Amino acid sequence: MRPIMRLAAVAALAIAAAVVAPPTQALAAPTGTQWLEAFSPDGTITQVAAPVQAAPAPATAAAAAPPPATVTALQQTGSTANRFDLVFVGDGYTSSQLALYHQHVAEKWATLTSIAPYSTYKNYFNVWMVDVISSESGVDNDPTQGVSKNTALGMYFWCSNTERLLCLNQSAAQSYAANAPAVDMIVAIGNSTKYGGAGYSNMATSSGGNALSGQIVQHELGHSIGGLADEYDVPYDRYSGGEPTEANVTKYTAAQLTSGKRKWYSRLGQSTPDGGVIGTYEGAAYYAHGLYRPSQNSIMRSLGQQFNTIGLNVMTQKLLAKINLNAPPQLVAGYGTFG
């Protein structure tokens, strides 16, 4: 596993925060911190150590119940048993701003489904909007440091002294998300037009009013659905461990892939949706040397790109294992549809 907090695997979504174990030879986060993915407007992705939130165990069953909140279906296409359930929660939206929140969710969903495989299989997602109401509008440290807002999820910029890293109270976000009929992934959006977000092990954050921030969700689902590795090459220098388990990174050169019939050897030289051809490009999975990625610059390396052929194939396989293309639309009763 990778050294950054990110969305939990689809099969392990128990609405509980968990620190992801670092990969071979990756440095552990400093004591009391966790690795987060931080995103820049130019598409680059880096890692930042942020404080770990300790979530105390509830004393009673009543305390464990999610706080009450209205849930609306932006899109409901079938049973939760054979659909991917994407749950949005908002922060910094007052009771009079729920229409704005719904608009921001719809915009994030449109951005997510603008690239494959999401565009191909968007009709096999259930998209739930949990109406989280805050006392004040906006998020902390926006537009400047020192601005404080009383909000339900406690979102704030300048997390770990990183301006665009948008952190939150993970436990609160998970509790509100539990109101949805099912949860395969949580996206928490803040009422802000400033670019920002973060990648946790069990959710992603994104600025609701910033169009580019929606690309963060495209990247994070590459981890949670496909189990794909990051393809950027910071902060470490040289990798000397074993072959990574992820399908989209390798320690072998193109010649070694071919001679051993390993991983994407059969795709070498073929064109790829993110541009160029499939090969072995040095620098991947946080290491500048000793690990290779399949293409020059896919969305697993920087935002605003497409998945490369290798990532796209893995994502498609994982989605098809979750959804049922032939299942009739057995909808969950009691949830309105936004429109």
Q: For residue range 250-278, what is the model confidence (pLDDT) as tens digits?
A: 999 999 999 999 999 999 999 999 999 99
Q: What is the pLDDT of residue 173?
A: 97
Return the SS3 of 49. strand
What's the sign of the alpha-carbon dihedral 297, 300, 304, 307?
positive
Return the SS3 of 281. strand
Q: Can you read off the two tokens belonging to residue 174?
A: 């998970």
- Per-domain boundaries in the chain: 10-53+68-224, 236-320
In this prediction, what percent of the chain has a pLDDT beyond 90? 69
Q: What is the pLDDT of residue 228?
A: 95
Q: Which tops the pLDDT comparison, 9 or 236?
A: 236
In the chain the beta strands, taken as DSSP E runs, fall at 33-39, 45-51, 71-75, 84-91, 125-130, 185-190, 197-199, 203-207, 236-238, 281-284, 287-293
Q: What is the pLDDT of residue 45?
A: 80
Confidence of residue 82 (pLDDT cuts 50, 70, 90): very high
As a dihedral over the C-alpha atoms of residue 186, residue 187, residue 190, residue 195, rounded to 10 degrees, the angle is: 150
The amino acid occupying position 178 is A
Report the CATH architecture of 10-53+68-224: 3-Layer(aba) Sandwich (3.40)
Q: Cα separation of 207 and 179, whole Å?
A: 22
Q: Are strands 84-91 and 185-190 parallel, antiparallel or unpaired?
A: parallel
Alpha helices in the chain (DSSP H): 61-64, 98-112, 118-121, 170-177, 215-224, 254-260, 309-322
Which of the residue ranges 40-44, 121-125, 153-157, 314-318 would you say has the lowest mean pLDDT? 40-44
Residue 72 CB contacts under 8 Å (≥ 6 apart), including other chains: 102, 128, 129, 131, 335, 336, 337, 338
DSSP symbol at 261? T
In this prediction, what percent of the chain has a pLDDT beyond 70? 85
Would the pLDDT of 143 be above 60? Answer: yes
50 pairs with which residues across the strands?
34
Q: What is the pLDDT of residue 201?
A: 76
Question: C-alpha distances in angstroms, 21 versus 24, 121, 181, 235?
Answer: 9, 31, 29, 17
The amino acid occupying position 222 is G
